[in-house]
Chain A
Amino acid sequence: MLVDASNCAGGEEAMRFEGLSVSFGGAAVVHDVDLTIGRGEAVGIIGESGSGKSVAFLAALGLLPSARVSGSVRLAMTEILHAPRTMLETIRGRRVAMIFQNPTGALNPIQRVGTQVVEVLRLHLGMTEKAARAEAKRLFDQVRISDAARKLESYPHELSGGQNQRVTIAMALAGRPDIIVADEPTTALDAIVQAQILDLLAEVRRDAGCALALISHDLAVVARVCRRVYVMHAGRVVETAAVADLFSAPRHPYSRALLAASSSLDAAPRHGAERADAAAAIDGVAHGGCAFEPRCGDRLAECRDRAPPLGCSSRSSHLVACYRGVSELVSEAAE
């Protein structure tokens, strides 16, 4: 009762990866990832560091010149993987905008923040300097930077991390993109600012009507903003489901481990153990089976021989790359 992944998700798409693989100097980091983000949809991508979640998106936008990338990346109907540089330049910042982890490092230290927003407006929307400045001020107001007119003239080092992240969000909104890719946008911020930035992201996304790909290692972050989620492990998508389904009934043992880690307060000592498991996971890839097999408590004999593909029951959009998980889904659907 296994169904091809592409049949499980429907609707209009803002962005679609098909068989996306990325490798650096022969070492594969992302394997055969299929992923769709609908128009105006907020989708979370979670996994531990090194699971390939950021690399997949950076490679998709051609931001990793030293990587070997194969597969397909489409924006609506346009194939953008290996597109010429001039075409990518009209897509980046215009149709796909990115927000990065470290807001202060992501801004040019010797340019006023207003100028950096104005640059996007002039490049992509062809605005005059005057119109662009007015629009930049409006964007600063929209992302709730207080005293916007004066802050436009500030340099990044004069603003806090949270304010700088608001600037990068304004910069992302400036090109009026179809989709914003936010790569760990709150990881470098302290807890209260994190919540504010997440709520702001959710709000501006709704107002602008654009899609959001929120990359995070933190389930709570994704749950706050997104409705659907992809779980990545060792460069593969191992589970995808509505956030509510994933929380109530995770089917992949790795998703369960992630849930357990985020809900337990003593996550710190466990973290070391998880890292050791990540090394073991690479052995798992080497033997050709499921990458999670070495650290899985419920492994089956076939897990070591062949990596389970993403599968689902015919009526559900919940997919899981686990032999046990799929049979659970199927028997549940039969009830």
Chain B
Amino acid sequence: MSALSQIPARGLERDPVTGPGGRAGDGGGTPAPARRRFPRPDYWSGVGLPGLLFVIAAFAVPMVVVVVKSLTDPSPENYAAIFSSAVYQRSVWDTLRMALVVTGLCLLIGYPYAYAMARSGRAMRTFLTVALMLAFWTSLLVRTYAWQIILNDTGIVNTVLREWLGLVSEPVRLIRTPFAVYIGMVHVLMPYAVLALFAQLRSIDPDVERAARGMGARPWRVFARVTLPLSLPGAVAGGVLVFVLALGFYITPQLLGGARQIYVGQAIMQQIEQFLKPGVGAAMAVLLFAAVLAVLAVAARFVGLGRILGVGMGRRR
């Protein structure tokens, strides 16, 4: 144990106060610091300052500018124009209907998928998860492009129908229809619904279902009376997210939709690119964002915002 005695005694021969002083952030080697509060009450707020400045400069300011633009280019009349125009109103109703239908389809098709993912053997779950993730992480533009290839007049479906099966002589009109938009949007957004439902279904204690079975309930009744109600929060979270995302879609309707349905996202682009009315476009954008936040705020009271936004964390459309 002679090793010990070789450790130099007492702070390695340094003055305890000034010795280690003078490092970054402690104000030099002043011997006895004046009365100062420590830990500094706002040190961590200080650490957050760069991030805060960044978000304000790069995000908050642009958002405020959009609002200002909507009110001043040329005037708040922009909003009146939106509310009085039949074209805009139709666009709003079309968008709402589309978002609702897409949400409904995503939940309807996504539920059995999530259920199979949550309640199957390892091989099945792996297959379903890999397929889901493959779709989820394929770019939105690429997937929309794929549906273009499939649904084109000279696309795969029409080739099969016309050349292989000879069922039709003229190409069936699939692309540039609401139908194509629905297919594309459901394909793009369904993974969110599945992930939300899957997370919820996995969190249900299997013993609860077993207990219901043990009490003599038939499988269908167990599902209807136990599983379905318990999985509802996941459905709400996934549904709200899909709905909110669908409201602002631009790429998919633009490529797969026809000229007759102009959804809000497209209408905003149109105002800026074609009609050169950025004020009106900005006003529509403000209303869209407000609608999204309102839906999220209402939904947050039921399932919590973290739950909704946490779905498919790391991926947005």
- Is B truly associated with A? no
* Chain B residues engaging chain A, CB cutoff 8 angstroms: none
